[in-house]
Amino acid sequence: IKKIGVLTSGGDAPGMNAAIRAVVRSCAFHKLDCVGIFRGYEGLMEADFKPLDARSVKNIINRGGTFLKSARSQKFRTADGRKLAYKNLKEANIDALVVIGGDGTFAGASVFNEEFDFPIVGLPGTIDNDINGTDYTIGYDTALNTVVEAIDKIRDTANSHNRLFLVEVMGRDAGDIALNAGIGAGAEEILIPEQDMGKDRLVESLRKSKLSGKTSSIIVVSEGDQIGKNIFELAEYIENNLTAYEVRVTVLGHIQRGGSPSCYDRVLASRLGVGAVDALINGESDVMIGIVHNKITSVLFKNTVKTKHKIDLELIRVADIISI
């Protein structure tokens, strides 16, 4: 391997820049050329490439977003799109790829690898933490801190007005952000897609806590949760069935995707970026580099996407106990 291309794809995540930086610097360390590919697979199909040397990634470890930009590509899902991508890679003499993204990115990478036997390694970059084969994804820790900081602020006003707040957080179909940020922010209830609570049980539980002396409440709702899917309807239902509280809704939205990465995410991204180049040098391909029990590991792409990501049941128990 002489030249490695790097791209970011799918939803951006804090720490993606730190990961790109680690890939670029690791290439420089091993005397390999590195090429940045803009806008993910879209830029791959348009040959939107730029050579990157060690100095070209200075002052970005602390920056949110991704300077290579990102996209969710429909065209790369087609055989013609992938053929074009392969042709561009060959013409630019790029002989391996590092793709940073989530499950959609890896699904595309896996098909591409199968079709062209092209060396390709992935890094998990998503705030959702919904990838199998890694304990943490790049951006997740920063998103948790953003959510906790926001809920701390909401708590102040909730408490002043004796109100109940529903706070919607991201995570697509995974409840990791809701569960961990909910525990960290001291939420009263946490609604996640992996565990269906049901509206009646929710209202019953809120009624009990009101009777036990609580004057305000925070409920963290994952965007993928069944009863939380329409959070404004849920707010109305609670107000109609539990007159004790005035209810307000806050949808945190894309602030969870931005901001300077936490130290944990910067270190994780740096370790995984170095791990990706190591893996390619060692002849690995069709794998994602992840972290399991604090060790850098590789797992086949197909095993990152095919099985449903599981939630930690111990966390659910902890959340139930400490919100009494």
- Choose, by CB under 6 A, the member of 5, 15, 64, 102 that binds ligand F6P: 102
Catalytic residue among 12, 53, 128, 196: 128
Contact 178, 220 (CB under 8 A): yes
- Choose, by CB under 6 A, the member of 163, 172, 199, 214 that binds ligand F6P: 172
128 near ligand F6P (CB under 6 A)? yes
Number of chain residues interacting with ligand F6P (CB under 6 A):
10
Distances (CA, A) of 146 to 12, 24, 57, 180, 218: 15, 28, 25, 12, 16
15 near ligand F6P (CB under 6 A)? no
Closest to ligand F6P by CB, 106 vs 118, is 106
Question: Residue 143 Cβ, how far from ligand F6P at the closest point, in Å?
Answer: 8
- Choose, by CB under 6 A, the member of 127, 179, 235, 288 that binds ligand F6P: 127
Stretch that binds ligand F6P, among 35-43, 106-114, 124-132, 274-282 (CB under 6 A): 124-132
Q: Which segments are annotated as binding site for substrate?
A: 126-128, 163, 170-172, 223, 248, 254-257
Helix runs in 93-198, H state only: 103-116, 140-161, 176-184
Question: Residue 101 Cβ, how far from ligand F6P at the closest point, in Å?
Answer: 9
Stretch that binds ligand F6P, among 22-30, 166-174, 227-235, 292-300 (CB under 6 A): 166-174
d(CA 82, CA 41): 9
Check if 128 is active-site: yes
d(CA 276, CA 268): 12
d(CA 154, CA 171): 20
171 near ligand F6P (CB under 6 A)? yes
The residues with which 292 forms a beta bridge, in sequence order, are: 295
Stretch that binds ligand F6P, among 121-129, 154-162, 264-272, 304-312 (CB under 6 A): 121-129
- Choose, by CB under 6 A, the member of 25, 69, 257, 309 that binds ligand F6P: 257
Stretch that binds ligand F6P, among 109-117, 167-175, 241-249, 273-281 (CB under 6 A): 167-175
Q: Which segments are annotated as binding site for Mg(2+)?
A: 103
Residues 221-250 that bind ligand F6P (CB under 6 A): 223
Question: Residue 255 Cβ, how far from ligand F6P at the closest point, in Å?
Answer: 11
Closest to ligand F6P by CB, 128 vs 189, is 128
170 near ligand F6P (CB under 6 A)? yes
Distances (CA, A) of 84 to 45, 80, 91, 145, 156: 6, 6, 11, 40, 54
Classify residue 33 as exposed, middle or buried by CB count within 10 Å of its CB (0-12, 13-18, 19+). Answer: middle
Question: Residue 204 Cβ, how far from ligand F6P at the closest point, in Å?
Answer: 29
Q: What are phi and psi of 257, to 5 degrees?
A: -95, -15
126 near ligand F6P (CB under 6 A)? yes
d(CA 166, CA 222): 10
Count of C-beta atoms within a 10 Å radius of residue 65: 18
Helix or strand holding residue 41 (H, E): helix 40-45
Of 113, 99, 3, nearest to 43 by C-alpha is 99
The β-bridge relationship of strands 246-251 and 163-169 is parallel
Helix or strand holding residue 49 (H, E): strand 49-51
Closest to ligand F6P by CB, 146 vs 217, is 146
The residues annotated with a catalytic role in the active site are 128
Q: Contact residues for ligand F6P (CB under 6 A)?
A: 11, 102, 126-128, 170-172, 223, 257
